[in-house]
C-alpha cells in the first residue's frame, strides 16, 4: 500500500469512529417514552375522596382518585415517573412552610357540594402557586386541575 491509501484509510476509519460515537451519544441521551397511557377518564370534580401525593417535594391534595389517576396518566405520557399516593399525615410533612411574596398570580378552582346538595364553585386568587399549595395542604382542600394564571373570573 502506498502512503496516500494508508492516509485515506486512516481518515475514513477516524470518521467512522466519530460517527458511531456521535450516534451512541445521541441515543444514550434520548429518553425513550412509549406514551402508553391513552385512557383519560371524565372525572367529577365535585366527588370528594381526597388523595394525597408529594409532587416535586410539595404536598398536593387531589379531589378524588379519578383526578389523581388522570394526573398519573398525563405524567406517564410526558415521560415522568408516576406519583404514589400517601397518607395525609405523611403528605403534610411536605406542606410549604414559607412562600415568596412575588411571582405569578394564580387562580385556584375549589369545587364542592353545598348544603343543598348542589355543585358549587369557589375561586380563590393567590399571589403565587406556592401560596395556593400551602392553603390547599394546610386546609385539606383540593383545587381541581392546574390553576389558571392571572386573576380569577
Paired with 58 in beta bridges are 55
Enumerate the domain spans of the chain.
Answer: 51-149
pLDDT tens digits along 40-92? 778 999 999 999 999 999 999 999 999 999 999 989 888 998 999 999 999 99
Model pLDDT for residues 124-141, shown as the tens digit of each residue: 999 999 999 999 999 999
According to DSSP, the residues that pair with 121 across neighbouring strands are 111
Decide if 49 contacts 39 (C-beta within 8 A): no
Residues in contact with 14: Cβ distance below 8 Å, sequence separation at least 6, in sequence order: none
- Tally the C-alpha atoms within 13 A of residue 12's C-alpha that lie toward its C-beta: 6
Helices assigned H by DSSP within the chain: 3-29, 65-77, 88-92, 129-139
Amino acid at each position: 500500500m502506498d502512503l496516500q491509501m494508508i492516509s485515506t484509510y486512516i481518515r475514513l476509519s477516524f470518521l467512522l469512529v466519530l460517527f458511531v460515537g456521535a450516534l451512541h451519544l445521541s441515543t444514550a441521551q434520548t429518553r425513550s417514552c412509549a406514551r402508553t397511557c391513552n385512557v383519560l377518564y371524565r372525572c367529577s370534580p365535585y366527588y370528594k375522596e381526597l388523595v394525597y401525593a408529594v409532587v416535586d417535594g410539595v404536598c398536593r391534595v387531589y379531589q378524588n382518585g379519578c383526578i389523581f389517576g388522570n394526573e398519573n396518566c398525563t405524567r406517564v405520557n410526558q415521560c415522568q415517573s408516576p406519583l404514589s399516593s400517601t397518607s395525609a399525615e405523611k403528605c403534610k410533612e411536605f406542606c410549604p412552610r414559607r412562600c415568596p411574596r412575588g411571582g405569578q398570580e394564580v387562580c385556584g378552582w375549589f369545587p364542592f357540594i353545598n348544603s343543598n346538595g348542589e355543585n358549587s364553585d369557589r375561586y380563590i386568587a393567590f399571589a403565587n402557586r406556592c401560596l395556593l399549595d400551602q392553603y390547599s395542604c394546610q386546609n385539606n382542600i383540593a383545587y381541581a386541575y392546574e390553576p389558571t394564571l392571572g386573576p380569577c373570573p
